[in-house]
Structure 1
Amino acid sequence: MSASKQIAIIEDEPEVLALLSTTLADAGYDIQTYSHAVDFEKALAESPPDLCIVDLGLPDKDGLGVVSNIAAQSDAAILVISGRTGLNDRITGLELGADDYLAKPFEPREVVARVRALIRRRAATTSPAETTIYRFSGWEVDFATFLLTDEKGATQRLSASEASLLLVFLKSAKRLITREQLQVALDDRSDSISFDRTIDVRVSRLRSKLNDKTRNPKIIKTIYGAGYIFISDVT
């Protein structure tokens, strides 16, 4: 299956770009490479890939802005690979729509593993064998298009990670789901501490799109020290 998957790499360091391109091509993926954000964003508008690998230190635009644009315009999974190792950069990237964050220097095998996990996660969300439309608390979500629609018909796009998380909640409605269960369901390879920080950001981002108040939740309830319960009825 991987041979048909399109991966776009946005990286301005020639050596890193060559390493990523060769490694992922050898793993069976179709690769497009870009060293400038403007060239990538033109291509994104015409033909979104399945997954984007984004460096944050680009010469013509901050990579975080590129991440935000990808999440807003497509359902491509997003892997940030960057020399920025600070927690704030990682959290900001996740808040803007990145699905995973890997610091430089990196092991090529780790990149392939992360890419495979993200593509599996995205494929599970969009699988034609699954029900694609769910309704809950006045919302409708279509996983074939990653579109979330409110009662008034206004739509917004879910990122790949938001869609994956929401689908896990929908399939486990009215049941406690622990962080460990979420990590398994999302096929997340992070260590437990990193995953805890990541899942907090993802849940917060999803709640924001659903207008679900943390102090008086109607959809996702936090059970402190245990996990989460999707408390809304689902049809």
Structure 2
Amino acid sequence: MEPISRILIVDDDREIRSLLADYLSNNGYVAHSAENGNAMWKTLEETPIDLIVLDLNLPGDDGLTLCRKLRAKSQMPVIMLTARNEPLDRILGLEMGADDYLPKPFEPRELLARIRSVLRRSHAQPPGQAGQSPERLQFAGWTLDLTARHLQSPEQLVVMLSGAEFRLLKIFLEHPNRVLNRDQLLNLTQGRDADPFDRSIDIQISRLRQKLGEDARSPQIIKTVRNGGYVLAVAVRAEGAQ
């Protein structure tokens, strides 16, 4: 039997915290709640948590700040709750390292589906099989370190990546010379289908290209395929444990 996952709900709205805690508990999870960043850190110190549901608008440190600080020390999955009419907040949340986002108001069952999807991805590689995967992926003189989760330039300089950028680049490197459309990229990186107005993938690719030193008008590593999507157009070599 799989262990029961522990979910931490961080939201300053007591009614929302109570509603979500009851709903998740009724669906087989152990739910904890915190009203702000200080309470979140205290819970994390005292209790093992498997996933955080983090509201963007919090008193004190907001959700973006908390997510950035969390990512500096942990890869714990985070689902960000954002305002429906603020697409930039959603994009920034992913850039800060959130694994997914959900605009308010939302149906609790949709959040449940997102939680299950993110947890499936985080558990996709059991700890005992970690040695069977490569430690580094090399391409066009660059190296993606899968353990340290950073990028190394041909000049041996370390380039830090957000959680969203790391997942996206890793997907491209695992599917070289294959055209991937926006739907596929969102599904592979976030476990969901694309919204017609969602441009988070395009923005993440633009930022990845900048970090790779690509010419935006004529990229050579991650190329745009008209009416198709994007393709990693270079060879990839795996290094380390297999």
Superposed, which structure 2 residues align to 1:1-235 within 5 Å? 3-41=3-41, 49-83=49-83, 85-124=85-124, 128=130, 129-150=132-153, 151-152=155-156, 154=158, 156-159=160-163, 161-186=164-189, 188-194=191-197, 196-235=198-237
SS at match of 1:176: coil
> Comparing 121-130 with 163-172, which one deviates more in the overlay?
121-130
Letter of the 2:201 partner, please give it.
Answer: I
CA distance, structure 2, for counterparts of residue 176 and residue 205 of structure 1:
19
Q: Distance in 2 between matches of 1:22 and 1:82?
A: 21
Does the aligned pair in 1 maintain the 2:183–2:194 contact within 8 Å? Answer: no
2:216 aligned partner, one-letter code: T
Contact 1:8 1:49 (C-alpha < 8 Å) held by counterparts: yes
Structure 1: stretches of 5+ with no match in the other structure: none
Residues 3 and 29, structure 1, Cα contact 8 Å, conserved in 2: no
Q: Which runs of 5+ in 2 are unaligned?
A: 238-242
Aligned residue type for 1:136: F
What secondary structure sits across from 1:20 in the alignment? Answer: helix
CA offset digits 1:177-196 (Å, max 9, x no partner): 222332443463344314x4
Q: Which is greater in Rg? A: 2
Q: CA-to-partner distance for each residue in 1:113-172, whole Å, 9 max, x for gaps?
A: 01111222333478635434212233322334433333425363541x333322221121
Bigger shift: 41-50 or 28-37? 41-50
Aligned equivalents of 1:187 and 1:91: distance in 2?
Answer: 13
What CA distance in whole angstroms lies between the structure 1 residues aligned with 2:14 and 2:182? 39
With structure 1 as the length reference, what TM-score do the two structures score? 0.81
Question: Is contact 1:136-1:232 (8 Å) kept?
Answer: yes
Question: What is the count of residue pairs matched by the alignment?
Answer: 233
The residue type paired with residue 222 of structure 1 is: T
SS of residue in 1 equivalent to 2:40: helix
User: Between the two proteins, what is the percent identity of the paired residues?
Assistant: 37
Q: Which amino acid aligns with 2:152?
A: T
RMSD over aligned CA atoms reads: 3.1
In the alignment, the residues of structure 1 paired with residue 203 and residue 125 of structure 2 have an alpha-carbon distance, to the nearest angstrom, of 20
Which of the two has greater helix per residue? 1
The normalised TM-score by structure 2 is: 0.79
